[in-house]
Chains A and B, each alone.
Chain A
Amino acid sequence: MAKPKFSQTRVEQTINLKDEFGIDFKGFKSLREAIGEAVLNQIRTRTARGDGMNFRGIGGTPTKLKKPYSDEYIENLDFKAFGKSRGRINMTLTGDMLGLMDVKKQTGNSITIGWDDAEQNAKAYNHSSPVRSNTTVPYRPFFGVSKKELTKIKKQFGKEIKSAMRLKDDGKKKAFEERVAKLLTIFKDKLVDVNDG
């Protein structure tokens, strides 16, 4: 399984779903999206617990996120304004870094998770990059999904994969995916209607 890549402009991990799940995902964009979301959820949930993932070895090694916060950080206005707790190391101040992590790219059999937002990418790089020479914050590797975590996600998707295999016919798959895409667009357009009431 590919390790996450860390650069100042791009922190990302590409997962080959065919290799990991054992079926062909071509034509199943929506299922790839759903699996991508499960991967993001795994990283967010683990990080919220204060657990990280180190990718210096093969497949990822669980690690604890480094404690404690510095006194300077604790005394910072932002720390207080966002109601952070000094004993809880969870990579969350505004929540934007973890909240904007997304499935940024997907092709036939792979998904890539990471950030489109340059600021959040830079934050993730500073915390997670194994190369520590040009970073300014403590090493707290949280980004990336491990081989073991992916196996757990695969189990969660057992039924969905069977359903996908039933929709083998290409025409049916295409119609199905087009319908989902259309619904996604309708939903997005109607979502935010900001009004000064």
Chain B
Amino acid sequence: MARVKIHGLGAVQKKIEETFDRVKSSRQMNNEIGMFVQERIKAQIRRGKPLNDTGKFPKLGKGTVKWRRKLAEFNKTHAVFKDVRSNTTITGQLVNAIKYLLEGQGIISIGVKNNRRVPYVIDKNGKLEKPVLTNLEVQTNLKQLGFILYTAKGLDKAPIIGKRINNIVKKYIRRAIKVNFGS
């Protein structure tokens, strides 16, 4: 690729504008933002807290605790599992299925990958649960029970997440400025 030596200020400005356009659609930056939000959502769910860190997930009923305890006997549980802990996590496969997707034009969407789940073993003879739901079906069921895993509104109300995203963007802008000065 040819290198252009910038002499005039107009040319420098033009190059800056081009660079900013590149930053806006930078895959690296959008990946960093997507990964950050995805991992924060996962961690908050495992902590049993909404994204804005206020309140907790609904308390588990006695029947649910008993069922979780039983499943823990026959399935490998996630490190954050505790039978009484309300965090929608037993094996962790639902939360692990939360992924971000770059849609282009600076749009990042985050959701549960709709794959069929590995069924729970439900007794000592290795019997498997039926029917086997998809992760999206589980998420829908949980939503009806008051477990909102994430919402864009939640993101809006979590100022620290907004600040973190802004800092990521600032980082890329500042790097772009450096590139312009070096031209």
Contact = CB atoms under 8 A, between A and B. Distances in A.
Interface of A: 30-31, 33-34, 36-38, 40-41, 77-78, 80-83, 94-96, 99-100, 102, 117, 157, 159-160, 163-164, 167, 172, 175-176, 179-180, 183-184, 187-188, 190-197
A188 B156 contact: no
23 contacts: A31-B177, A31-B181, A34-B175, A34-B181, A37-B174, A41-B171, A77-B80, A78-B43, A81-B43, A82-B39, A96-B160, A99-B167, A102-B167, A117-B163, A160-B178, A163-B6, A163-B181, A163-B183, A179-B16, A187-B173, A188-B169, A191-B166, A194-B153
Contacts of A36: 174
Interface in B47-64: 47
A195 B111 CA distance: 13
Contacts of A192: 162, 165-166
Contacts of B107: 193
B131 to A, nearest CB: 28
Nearest to A93: B43
B79 A80 contact: yes
Contacts of B85: 77
**Closest A-B pairs by Cβ, 10 of them:** A160-B181, A37-B174, A81-B46, A159-B182, A34-B178, A80-B79, A194-B152, A196-B152, A34-B177, A81-B47
Contacts, number: 109
Contacts of A81: 43-44, 46-47, 80
A163 B98 CA distance: 45
Contacts of B12: 176
Interface string B108-133: 01000000000000000000000000
Contact of A78 (B40, B47, B183): B47
Contacts of B70: none
Contact of B43 (A30, A34, A94, A159): A94
A183 B174 contact: no
B133 to A, nearest CB: 22
Contacts of A184: 173
A196 to B, nearest CB: 5
Nearest to A44: B171
B34 to A, nearest CB: 13
A102 B169 CA distance: 12
Contacts of B162: 192
